[in-house]
Chains A and B, each alone.
Chain A
Protein backbone atom coordinates (compact mmCIF):
# COMPACT_ATOMS: atom_id res chain seq x y z
CA UNK A 1 0.00 0.00 0.00
CA UNK A 2 3.04 2.29 -0.05
CA UNK A 3 2.05 3.00 -3.67
CA UNK A 4 -1.13 4.62 -2.46
CA UNK A 5 0.63 7.02 -0.10
CA UNK A 6 2.95 7.97 -2.93
CA UNK A 7 0.04 8.63 -5.30
CA UNK A 8 -1.73 10.70 -2.67
CA UNK A 9 1.40 12.74 -2.00
CA UNK A 10 1.74 13.31 -5.74
CA UNK A 11 -1.91 14.32 -5.87
CA UNK A 12 -1.54 16.92 -3.13
CA UNK A 13 1.62 18.28 -4.75
CA UNK A 14 -0.33 18.73 -7.99
CA UNK A 15 -3.16 20.56 -6.26
CA UNK A 16 -0.86 23.00 -4.51
CA UNK A 17 1.32 23.56 -7.58
CA UNK A 18 -1.55 25.56 -9.09
CA UNK A 19 -1.43 23.57 -12.32
CA UNK A 20 -3.33 25.73 -14.84
CA UNK A 21 -4.71 22.81 -16.85
CA UNK A 22 -6.00 21.21 -13.68
CA UNK A 23 -7.82 24.34 -12.58
CA UNK A 24 -9.24 24.92 -16.07
CA UNK A 25 -10.84 21.48 -15.81
CA UNK A 26 -12.19 22.30 -12.35
CA UNK A 27 -13.54 25.61 -13.67
CA UNK A 28 -15.36 23.99 -16.57
CA UNK A 29 -16.84 21.41 -14.22
CA UNK A 30 -18.23 24.13 -12.00
CA UNK A 31 -19.49 26.17 -14.93
CA UNK A 32 -21.30 23.23 -16.49
CA UNK A 33 -22.76 21.81 -13.29
CA UNK A 34 -23.79 25.16 -11.80
CA UNK A 35 -25.52 26.13 -15.04
CA UNK A 36 -27.24 22.76 -15.10
CA UNK A 37 -28.42 23.11 -11.50
CA UNK A 38 -29.69 26.64 -12.14
CA UNK A 39 -31.75 25.54 -15.13
CA UNK A 40 -32.87 22.37 -13.36
CA UNK A 41 -33.96 24.46 -10.37
CA UNK A 42 -35.93 26.82 -12.60
CA UNK A 43 -37.82 23.81 -13.97
CA UNK A 44 -37.78 21.41 -11.03
CA UNK A 45 -38.74 23.72 -8.19
CA UNK A 46 -42.03 25.02 -9.64
CA UNK A 47 -42.77 21.53 -10.98
CA UNK A 48 -42.15 19.85 -7.62
CA UNK A 49 -44.07 22.54 -5.75
CA UNK A 50 -47.02 22.25 -8.14
CA UNK A 51 -47.05 18.49 -7.68
CA UNK A 52 -47.12 19.01 -3.92
CA UNK A 53 -49.94 21.55 -3.86
CA UNK A 54 -52.14 21.35 -6.92
CA UNK A 55 -54.45 18.62 -8.12
CA UNK A 56 -54.53 18.69 -11.90
CA UNK A 57 -55.20 16.18 -14.66
CA UNK A 58 -52.08 14.20 -15.52
CA UNK A 59 -50.54 14.84 -12.10
CA UNK A 60 -50.12 11.12 -11.45
CA UNK A 61 -48.45 10.62 -14.82
CA UNK A 62 -46.03 13.49 -14.19
CA UNK A 63 -45.13 12.05 -10.79
CA UNK A 64 -44.43 8.65 -12.31
CA UNK A 65 -42.30 10.31 -14.99
CA UNK A 66 -40.32 12.27 -12.40
CA UNK A 67 -39.73 9.19 -10.26
CA UNK A 68 -38.73 7.13 -13.28
CA UNK A 69 -36.29 9.71 -14.60
CA UNK A 70 -34.78 9.93 -11.13
CA UNK A 71 -33.89 6.24 -11.30
CA UNK A 72 -32.42 6.40 -14.80
CA UNK A 73 -28.68 5.69 -14.96
CA UNK A 74 -26.73 8.72 -16.21
CA UNK A 75 -25.27 6.67 -19.06
CA UNK A 76 -28.76 6.08 -20.42
CA UNK A 77 -29.52 9.80 -20.21
CA UNK A 78 -26.24 10.47 -22.00
CA UNK A 79 -27.18 8.01 -24.69
CA UNK A 80 -30.63 9.57 -25.13
CA UNK A 81 -29.15 13.05 -25.43
CA UNK A 82 -26.50 11.74 -27.84
CA UNK A 83 -29.12 10.16 -30.08
CA UNK A 84 -31.10 13.39 -30.13
CA UNK A 85 -28.18 15.80 -30.57
CA UNK A 86 -26.24 13.61 -32.99
CA UNK A 87 -26.00 14.93 -36.53
CA UNK A 88 -28.29 12.08 -37.51
CA UNK A 89 -30.66 12.92 -34.66
CA UNK A 90 -33.71 15.19 -34.64
CA UNK A 91 -31.84 18.18 -33.18
CA UNK A 92 -28.56 17.51 -35.01
CA UNK A 93 -28.81 20.78 -36.93
CA UNK A 94 -28.23 22.72 -33.72
CA UNK A 95 -24.68 21.39 -33.77
CA UNK A 96 -24.54 21.00 -30.01
CA UNK A 97 -22.97 17.56 -29.62
CA UNK A 98 -19.50 17.63 -28.03
CA UNK A 99 -20.06 21.10 -26.54
CA UNK A 100 -20.46 22.20 -22.90
CA UNK A 101 -24.07 22.99 -23.80
CA UNK A 102 -24.71 19.32 -24.55
CA UNK A 103 -23.24 18.42 -21.18
CA UNK A 104 -25.46 20.96 -19.46
CA UNK A 105 -28.51 19.53 -21.20
CA UNK A 106 -27.64 16.00 -20.06
CA UNK A 107 -27.07 17.18 -16.50
CA UNK A 108 -30.31 19.17 -16.49
CA UNK A 109 -32.18 16.00 -17.41
CA UNK A 110 -30.26 14.14 -14.74
CA UNK A 111 -30.82 16.70 -12.01
CA UNK A 112 -34.31 18.10 -12.66
CA UNK A 113 -36.14 14.98 -11.42
CA UNK A 114 -34.07 14.98 -8.24
CA UNK A 115 -34.79 18.63 -7.53
CA UNK A 116 -38.45 18.19 -8.46
CA UNK A 117 -38.91 15.14 -6.25
CA UNK A 118 -37.14 16.66 -3.25
CA UNK A 119 -38.96 19.97 -3.73
CA UNK A 120 -42.27 18.13 -3.86
CA UNK A 121 -41.45 16.50 -0.54
CA UNK A 122 -40.30 19.76 1.04
CA UNK A 123 -43.23 21.82 -0.24
CA UNK A 124 -45.73 19.12 0.75
CA UNK A 125 -44.47 19.46 4.33
CA UNK A 126 -44.51 23.23 4.02
CA UNK A 127 -48.05 23.09 2.61
CA UNK A 128 -49.13 20.94 5.52
CA UNK A 129 -47.82 23.57 7.94
CA UNK A 130 -48.65 26.84 6.17
CA UNK A 131 -51.34 25.97 3.63
CA UNK A 132 -54.36 26.98 5.71
CA UNK A 133 -52.69 30.09 7.05
CA UNK A 134 -51.77 31.31 3.58
CA UNK A 135 -55.26 30.53 2.30
CA UNK A 136 -56.59 32.47 5.28
CA UNK A 137 -54.47 35.44 4.21
CA UNK A 138 -56.35 35.27 0.93
CA UNK A 139 -53.21 34.68 -1.15
CA UNK A 140 -53.62 33.60 -4.75
CA UNK A 141 -52.45 30.04 -5.38
CA UNK A 142 -49.42 31.34 -7.27
CA UNK A 143 -48.36 33.74 -4.53
CA UNK A 144 -48.97 31.01 -1.96
CA UNK A 145 -46.76 28.64 -3.96
CA UNK A 146 -43.87 31.12 -3.95
CA UNK A 147 -44.24 31.55 -0.18
CA UNK A 148 -44.43 27.79 0.37
CA UNK A 149 -41.19 27.33 -1.58
CA UNK A 150 -39.57 30.13 0.39
CA UNK A 151 -40.72 28.65 3.69
CA UNK A 152 -39.31 25.26 2.67
CA UNK A 153 -35.94 26.78 1.75
CA UNK A 154 -33.69 24.71 4.06
CA UNK A 155 -34.99 21.50 2.50
CA UNK A 156 -34.92 23.04 -0.96
CA UNK A 157 -31.32 24.17 -0.57
CA UNK A 158 -30.55 20.59 0.38
CA UNK A 159 -32.32 19.52 -2.80
CA UNK A 160 -30.24 21.93 -4.88
CA UNK A 161 -27.10 20.64 -3.21
CA UNK A 162 -28.07 17.07 -3.89
CA UNK A 163 -28.63 18.06 -7.50
CA UNK A 164 -25.29 19.81 -7.74
CA UNK A 165 -23.52 16.86 -6.14
CA UNK A 166 -25.11 14.47 -8.58
CA UNK A 167 -24.28 16.72 -11.56
CA UNK A 168 -20.68 17.45 -10.72
CA UNK A 169 -19.90 13.83 -9.79
CA UNK A 170 -21.49 12.29 -12.86
CA UNK A 171 -19.25 10.81 -15.55
CA UNK A 172 -21.17 8.52 -17.90
CA UNK A 173 -23.48 11.04 -19.53
CA UNK A 174 -21.00 13.90 -19.97
CA UNK A 175 -18.45 11.46 -21.39
CA UNK A 176 -20.86 10.47 -24.17
CA UNK A 177 -22.32 13.87 -25.06
CA UNK A 178 -19.23 15.93 -24.30
CA UNK A 179 -16.69 13.57 -25.83
CA UNK A 180 -14.10 14.47 -23.17
CA UNK A 181 -12.38 16.82 -25.64
CA UNK A 182 -9.33 18.51 -24.13
CA UNK A 183 -9.89 22.20 -23.26
CA UNK A 184 -13.45 22.05 -24.59
CA UNK A 185 -15.54 19.48 -22.77
CA UNK A 186 -13.10 17.87 -20.37
CA UNK A 187 -14.40 18.10 -16.82
CA UNK A 188 -13.22 16.67 -13.52
CA UNK A 189 -14.95 13.32 -13.71
CA UNK A 190 -14.03 12.60 -17.33
CA UNK A 191 -10.45 13.59 -16.58
CA UNK A 192 -10.44 11.23 -13.62
CA UNK A 193 -11.70 8.45 -15.88
CA UNK A 194 -9.14 9.30 -18.57
CA UNK A 195 -6.16 9.64 -16.24
CA UNK A 196 -7.12 6.44 -14.45
CA UNK A 197 -7.17 4.64 -17.79
CA UNK A 198 -3.74 6.10 -18.51
CA UNK A 199 -2.54 4.82 -15.17
CA UNK A 200 -1.91 8.38 -13.93
CA UNK A 201 -3.44 7.76 -10.57
CA UNK A 202 -1.85 10.86 -9.01
CA UNK A 203 -3.71 13.31 -11.25
CA UNK A 204 -6.90 11.27 -10.99
CA UNK A 205 -6.62 11.29 -7.22
CA UNK A 206 -5.85 15.00 -7.15
CA UNK A 207 -9.12 15.67 -8.93
CA UNK A 208 -10.87 13.27 -6.62
CA UNK A 209 -9.56 15.22 -3.66
CA UNK A 210 -10.74 18.49 -5.22
CA UNK A 211 -14.20 17.02 -5.78
CA UNK A 212 -14.25 15.99 -2.15
CA UNK A 213 -13.12 19.38 -0.90
CA UNK A 214 -15.67 21.04 -3.16
CA UNK A 215 -18.48 18.93 -1.74
CA UNK A 216 -17.29 19.70 1.77
CA UNK A 217 -17.00 23.42 1.03
CA UNK A 218 -20.50 23.67 -0.42
CA UNK A 219 -21.97 21.77 2.50
CA UNK A 220 -20.19 23.94 5.04
CA UNK A 221 -21.17 27.15 3.23
CA UNK A 222 -24.80 26.14 3.25
CA UNK A 223 -24.72 25.14 6.91
CA UNK A 224 -23.18 28.50 7.69
CA UNK A 225 -25.83 30.33 5.68
CA UNK A 226 -28.62 28.47 7.41
CA UNK A 227 -26.88 28.42 10.74
CA UNK A 228 -28.09 31.75 12.16
CA UNK A 229 -31.81 31.28 12.80
CA UNK A 230 -31.56 27.56 13.50
CA UNK A 231 -28.92 28.02 16.16
CA UNK A 232 -31.08 30.55 17.97
CA UNK A 233 -33.90 28.10 17.83
CA UNK A 234 -31.79 25.35 19.27
CA UNK A 235 -30.72 27.55 22.18
CA UNK A 236 -34.06 29.04 23.21
Chain B
Protein backbone atom coordinates (compact mmCIF):
# COMPACT_ATOMS: atom_id res chain seq x y z
CA UNK B 1 0.00 0.00 0.00
CA UNK B 2 1.23 3.42 -0.95
CA UNK B 3 2.22 5.82 1.75
CA UNK B 4 1.88 9.34 0.40
CA UNK B 5 3.28 12.17 2.45
CA UNK B 6 3.20 15.94 2.12
CA UNK B 7 6.14 17.38 4.01
CA UNK B 8 5.91 21.06 4.86
CA UNK B 9 4.54 22.15 1.48
CA UNK B 10 4.45 25.88 0.82
CA UNK B 11 3.46 27.66 -2.34
CA UNK B 12 2.61 31.22 -3.18
CA UNK B 13 1.38 32.95 -6.25
CA UNK B 14 1.31 36.68 -6.95
CA UNK B 15 2.34 37.44 -3.39
CA UNK B 16 -0.48 35.35 -1.92
CA UNK B 17 0.36 32.37 0.24
CA UNK B 18 -1.77 29.56 -1.20
CA UNK B 19 -0.26 26.71 0.78
CA UNK B 20 1.43 27.38 4.12
CA UNK B 21 3.58 24.57 5.52
CA UNK B 22 1.15 21.78 4.81
CA UNK B 23 2.14 18.41 6.20
CA UNK B 24 -0.06 15.38 5.73
CA UNK B 25 0.23 11.63 5.58
CA UNK B 26 -2.09 9.37 3.60
CA UNK B 27 -1.73 5.72 4.43
CA UNK B 28 -5.10 4.01 3.81
CA UNK B 29 -7.01 3.59 0.58
CA UNK B 30 -9.60 6.11 1.67
CA UNK B 31 -11.44 7.53 0.00
CA UNK B 32 -9.72 10.51 1.54
CA UNK B 33 -11.59 13.76 1.02
CA UNK B 34 -9.98 17.17 1.05
CA UNK B 35 -12.58 19.75 1.98
CA UNK B 36 -12.59 23.43 2.66
CA UNK B 37 -13.89 26.71 1.30
CA UNK B 38 -12.86 28.18 -2.02
CA UNK B 39 -9.30 29.45 -2.01
CA UNK B 40 -8.27 27.07 0.77
CA UNK B 41 -5.61 25.60 -1.56
CA UNK B 42 -7.26 22.21 -2.19
CA UNK B 43 -6.65 22.07 -5.95
CA UNK B 44 -3.07 23.29 -5.58
CA UNK B 45 -2.41 20.64 -2.94
CA UNK B 46 -3.86 17.90 -5.12
CA UNK B 47 -1.76 18.98 -8.12
CA UNK B 48 1.34 19.07 -5.96
CA UNK B 49 0.72 15.55 -4.67
CA UNK B 50 0.50 14.49 -8.33
CA UNK B 51 3.62 16.36 -9.38
CA UNK B 52 1.83 18.82 -11.67
CA UNK B 53 3.03 21.70 -9.50
CA UNK B 54 6.33 22.05 -7.72
CA UNK B 55 6.25 23.40 -4.15
CA UNK B 56 8.27 26.51 -3.29
CA UNK B 57 9.53 24.57 -0.32
CA UNK B 58 8.84 21.20 1.19
CA UNK B 59 8.48 17.88 -0.60
CA UNK B 60 6.06 15.18 -1.62
CA UNK B 61 7.19 11.71 -0.62
CA UNK B 62 5.92 8.39 -1.89
CA UNK B 63 6.90 5.49 0.33
CA UNK B 64 9.51 7.83 1.86
CA UNK B 65 11.11 8.65 -1.49
CA UNK B 66 10.72 11.95 -3.34
CA UNK B 67 7.99 11.92 -5.95
CA UNK B 68 9.69 11.03 -9.23
CA UNK B 69 8.45 10.22 -12.74
CA UNK B 70 8.07 6.52 -11.99
CA UNK B 71 5.97 7.28 -8.90
CA UNK B 72 3.93 9.83 -10.84
CA UNK B 73 3.16 7.23 -13.49
CA UNK B 74 1.60 5.11 -10.72
CA UNK B 75 -0.85 7.95 -10.13
CA UNK B 76 -3.77 9.24 -12.17
CA UNK B 77 -5.99 12.26 -12.00
CA UNK B 78 -9.50 13.24 -12.98
CA UNK B 79 -10.24 16.91 -13.43
CA UNK B 80 -13.37 18.88 -12.66
CA UNK B 81 -13.95 19.40 -16.40
CA UNK B 82 -13.25 16.13 -18.19
CA UNK B 83 -10.46 16.50 -20.74
CA UNK B 84 -11.45 14.52 -23.84
CA UNK B 85 -8.91 14.02 -26.60
CA UNK B 86 -10.16 14.84 -30.08
CA UNK B 87 -10.74 11.21 -31.04
CA UNK B 88 -13.20 8.39 -30.40
CA UNK B 89 -14.23 7.03 -27.01
CA UNK B 90 -12.27 3.86 -27.74
CA UNK B 91 -9.20 5.83 -28.84
CA UNK B 92 -9.26 7.86 -25.62
CA UNK B 93 -8.98 4.63 -23.65
CA UNK B 94 -6.39 3.23 -26.04
CA UNK B 95 -4.30 6.37 -25.59
CA UNK B 96 -4.19 5.94 -21.80
CA UNK B 97 -3.51 2.19 -22.01
CA UNK B 98 -0.72 2.84 -24.49
CA UNK B 99 0.87 5.50 -22.29
CA UNK B 100 0.71 3.12 -19.32
CA UNK B 101 2.09 0.26 -21.39
CA UNK B 102 -0.97 -1.89 -20.83
CA UNK B 103 -2.57 -4.19 -23.40
CA UNK B 104 -5.25 -2.61 -25.61
CA UNK B 105 -7.51 -5.57 -24.86
CA UNK B 106 -8.26 -4.10 -21.44
CA UNK B 107 -10.24 -1.29 -23.04
CA UNK B 108 -13.40 -3.38 -23.25
CA UNK B 109 -13.60 -3.78 -19.46
CA UNK B 110 -13.33 -0.05 -18.92
CA UNK B 111 -15.84 0.74 -21.65
CA UNK B 112 -18.27 -1.46 -19.82
CA UNK B 113 -17.41 0.11 -16.45
CA UNK B 114 -18.09 3.54 -17.93
CA UNK B 115 -21.31 2.27 -19.49
CA UNK B 116 -20.22 3.46 -22.93
CA UNK B 117 -20.27 0.15 -24.84
CA UNK B 118 -22.68 1.57 -27.40
CA UNK B 119 -20.69 4.76 -27.94
CA UNK B 120 -17.32 3.17 -28.63
CA UNK B 121 -16.76 4.87 -31.96
CA UNK B 122 -18.35 8.18 -31.14
CA UNK B 123 -16.03 11.21 -30.90
CA UNK B 124 -15.31 11.64 -27.20
CA UNK B 125 -15.88 15.38 -27.51
CA UNK B 126 -19.49 14.72 -28.50
CA UNK B 127 -20.29 12.94 -25.21
CA UNK B 128 -22.55 14.58 -22.63
CA UNK B 129 -20.94 15.97 -19.47
CA UNK B 130 -21.82 12.88 -17.45
CA UNK B 131 -20.67 10.44 -20.12
CA UNK B 132 -17.41 12.33 -20.58
CA UNK B 133 -16.66 12.27 -16.85
CA UNK B 134 -17.46 8.54 -16.71
CA UNK B 135 -14.99 8.03 -19.52
CA UNK B 136 -12.44 10.25 -17.77
CA UNK B 137 -12.66 8.19 -14.56
CA UNK B 138 -12.53 4.90 -16.46
CA UNK B 139 -9.58 6.20 -18.49
CA UNK B 140 -7.73 7.20 -15.31
CA UNK B 141 -8.39 3.80 -13.75
CA UNK B 142 -7.33 2.05 -16.95
CA UNK B 143 -3.79 3.25 -16.30
CA UNK B 144 -3.81 0.98 -13.25
CA UNK B 145 -2.86 3.67 -10.73
CA UNK B 146 -1.95 3.03 -7.11
CA UNK B 147 -3.34 6.45 -6.27
CA UNK B 148 -6.22 8.23 -8.00
CA UNK B 149 -6.78 11.95 -7.53
CA UNK B 150 -10.15 13.50 -8.35
CA UNK B 151 -10.74 17.25 -8.32
CA UNK B 152 -14.48 17.83 -7.83
CA UNK B 153 -15.36 15.25 -10.48
CA UNK B 154 -19.12 15.49 -10.02
CA UNK B 155 -19.61 19.21 -9.32
CA UNK B 156 -21.22 19.80 -12.72
CA UNK B 157 -23.17 16.54 -12.95
CA UNK B 158 -26.77 15.50 -12.26
CA UNK B 159 -27.59 12.92 -9.55
CA UNK B 160 -27.69 9.94 -11.93
CA UNK B 161 -24.28 10.72 -13.41
CA UNK B 162 -22.94 11.44 -9.92
CA UNK B 163 -24.17 8.06 -8.70
CA UNK B 164 -22.39 6.30 -11.57
CA UNK B 165 -19.11 8.10 -10.83
CA UNK B 166 -19.40 7.35 -7.12
CA UNK B 167 -19.95 3.71 -8.01
CA UNK B 168 -16.74 3.69 -10.05
CA UNK B 169 -14.86 5.29 -7.17
CA UNK B 170 -16.16 2.80 -4.63
CA UNK B 171 -15.20 -0.07 -6.90
CA UNK B 172 -11.72 1.36 -7.36
CA UNK B 173 -11.18 1.40 -3.60
CA UNK B 174 -12.39 -2.20 -3.40
CA UNK B 175 -9.84 -3.03 -6.06
CA UNK B 176 -7.08 -1.52 -3.93
CA UNK B 177 -6.71 1.95 -5.42
CA UNK B 178 -5.97 4.75 -3.02
CA UNK B 179 -8.47 7.56 -3.72
CA UNK B 180 -7.85 11.17 -2.78
CA UNK B 181 -10.49 13.62 -3.88
CA UNK B 182 -11.81 17.11 -3.48
CA UNK B 183 -15.51 17.76 -3.12
CA UNK B 184 -17.79 20.61 -2.19
CA UNK B 185 -20.70 18.20 -1.94
CA UNK B 186 -21.06 17.51 1.78
CA UNK B 187 -23.54 14.73 1.04
CA UNK B 188 -20.95 13.03 -1.16
CA UNK B 189 -18.37 13.30 1.61
CA UNK B 190 -20.77 11.64 4.00
CA UNK B 191 -21.53 8.90 1.47
CA UNK B 192 -17.97 8.04 0.48
CA UNK B 193 -15.32 9.43 2.80
CA UNK B 194 -13.23 7.29 5.11
CA UNK B 195 -10.96 10.12 6.08
CA UNK B 196 -11.29 13.86 5.79
CA UNK B 197 -8.73 16.66 5.59
CA UNK B 198 -10.04 20.12 6.36
CA UNK B 199 -8.04 22.83 4.64
CA UNK B 200 -8.51 26.51 5.43
CA UNK B 201 -6.50 29.48 4.16
CA UNK B 202 -3.64 27.29 3.02
CA UNK B 203 -3.28 25.42 6.28
CA UNK B 204 -4.46 22.04 7.52
CA UNK B 205 -7.13 22.80 10.09
CA UNK B 206 -7.68 19.22 11.16
CA UNK B 207 -7.72 15.67 9.86
CA UNK B 208 -9.46 12.55 11.04
CA UNK B 209 -11.84 9.70 10.30
CA UNK B 210 -14.87 10.85 8.36
CA UNK B 211 -17.44 9.90 10.97
CA UNK B 212 -15.64 12.00 13.57
CA UNK B 213 -15.04 15.07 11.42
CA UNK B 214 -18.45 15.04 9.86
CA UNK B 215 -20.09 14.58 13.25
CA UNK B 216 -18.16 16.30 15.99
CA UNK B 217 -15.16 18.10 14.65
CA UNK B 218 -12.86 19.84 17.11
CA UNK B 219 -12.64 23.10 15.24
CA UNK B 220 -15.53 25.51 14.90
CA UNK B 221 -14.60 26.29 11.29
CA UNK B 222 -14.88 22.63 10.37
CA UNK B 223 -18.22 22.26 12.09
CA UNK B 224 -19.50 25.39 10.39
CA UNK B 225 -18.30 24.18 6.99
CA UNK B 226 -19.78 20.73 7.43
CA UNK B 227 -23.07 22.32 8.51
CA UNK B 228 -23.15 24.27 5.30
CA UNK B 229 -22.48 27.64 6.89
CA UNK B 230 -20.53 30.18 4.89
CA UNK B 231 -16.89 30.15 5.78
CA UNK B 232 -14.57 32.77 4.40
Contact = CB atoms under 8 A, between A and B. Distances in A.
Chains A and B touch (C-beta atoms under 8 A apart)? yes
Interface stretch (B34-42, B122-130, B163-171, B217-225): B122-130
Contacts of A138: 69, 72-73, 99
B122 A232 contact: yes
A150 B86 CA distance: 9
A19 B38 CA distance: 72
Contacts of A229: 86, 123, 125-126
Interface in B71-99: 72-73, 75-77, 79, 83, 85-86, 95-96, 99
Contacts of B76: 136
A136 B73 CA distance: 8
A129 B83 contact: yes
Contact of A136 (B77, B86, B122, B126): B77
B143 A137 contact: yes
B186 interface: no
Contacts of A150: 86
Report whether over half of chain A's contact residues are helix, strand or loop; otherwise say mixed: helix
Interface of B: 47, 50-52, 69, 72-73, 75-77, 79, 83, 85-86, 95-96, 99-100, 122-123, 125-126, 128, 143
A151 B126 contact: no
B123 A136 contact: no
Contact of B85 (A130, A132, A233): A130
Contacts of B72: 138
A150 B79 CA distance: 21
Contacts of B79: 132-133
Contacts of B50: 136
A229 B122 CA distance: 8
A236 B69 contact: no
A137 B86 contact: no
A135 B53 CA distance: 10
B83 A133 contact: yes
A168 B48 CA distance: 50
Given A130-B83, A151-B85, A233 B126 contact: yes
A139 B52 contact: no
Nearest to A234: B126
14 contacts: A129-B83, A130-B85, A132-B77, A132-B83, A135-B52, A136-B76, A136-B77, A137-B95, A137-B99, A137-B100, A138-B69, A150-B86, A151-B86, A229-B125
Query: Which 9 pairs, one residue from A and one from B, show the smallest C-beta to C-beta distance?
Result: A133-B83, A138-B73, A229-B123, A136-B77, A233-B126, A137-B99, A236-B126, A232-B126, A151-B86
Contact of A132 (B52, B99, B123, B143): B52
Contacts of A132: 47, 52, 77, 79, 83
Nearest to A133: B83
Contacts of B86: 150-151, 153, 229
A233 B125 contact: yes
A132 B143 CA distance: 16
A150 B123 CA distance: 15
B69 A232 contact: no
A144 B73 CA distance: 14
Contacts of A129: 83
Nearest to A126: B86
Contacts of A153: 86
A184 B123 CA distance: 47
Given A138-B73, A139-B99, 12 more contacts: A130-B83, A135-B51, A136-B75, A137-B143, A138-B69, A138-B72, A150-B86, A151-B85, A153-B86, A229-B86, A229-B123, A229-B126
